[in-house]
Amino acid sequence: MDPTDLITRYYDGCSDGDVDALLTTLHPDVVHYFLAPNLGSTPVAGAEHLARYWRKVTRVIEARWVVDRLVADGDEAVIEWTMFWLPTGARERVATRGAEWFVLRDGLISEIRSYYQQHEATTELDAFPYAARGYSLPGQEYSALHRPPSSEGSFS
């Protein structure tokens, strides 16, 4: 499977909290590493464990992930993504921007190295032209690359 299709399907499964959909994208021995310090920075290992982890996270913070950019070479891919979510007690969703390195094995995701800091306010590159480059935006939770199939485009 094409890395773009695989990775966007993975994020659709994360956003929907769909364990079965996630399992179709994950190698049984997958490991997801997180940048520390961050809430929940301990690595998550195993396809079933990771799929259930994302189901829980999605339910708690009403998260939607959008792949904004992707570069692939063989069995590796690097992406920029945005997670739109609702902090506890907040009325408005915030956007957390991040990047991840994927390692693929047997056509599935076998390793994810995640680089971001999650704060209760939107975090992004200062003065970067997100809109002009087709990235997702607050109120537009899709990008030129990734329009989640279960989305009407926005949660706002």
The phi, psi pair for 6, rounded to 5°, reads: -60, -50
Which pLDDT score is estimated for 140?
93
CATH class of 3-133: alpha beta
The Cα 31–Cα 29 span in angstroms is 7
- Quote the pLDDT of residue 120: 93
Tens of pLDDT along 126-143?
Answer: 999 999 999 999 999 999
For residue 148, the model assigns a pLDDT of 74
Indicate the SS3 state at residue 71: strand
- Rounded CA separation 78/102 (Å): 6
Residues 55-103: tens digit of each pLDDT: 999 999 999 999 999 999 999 999 999 999 999 999 999 999 999 999 9
Torsion of CA 92, 90, 42, 9, to 10 degrees: -30
Q: What is the mean pLDDT of the chain?
A: 93
For 48, other C-beta atoms within 10 Å of its C-beta total: 13
SS (H, E, C) 77-144: EEEEEEEEECCCCCCCCEEEEEEEEEEEECCEEEEEEEECCCCCCCECCCCCCCHHHCCCECCECCCC
pLDDT over 50 (residue 6): yes
CA dihedral 118, 115, 145, 151 (to 10 degrees): -30
How confident is the model over 51-57, as a mean pLDDT? Answer: 97
Entry pTM? 0.92
Q: Cβ(143)–Cβ(131) under 8 Å?
A: no
CB 149 within 8 A of CB 86: no
> Domain ranges in the chain?
3-133
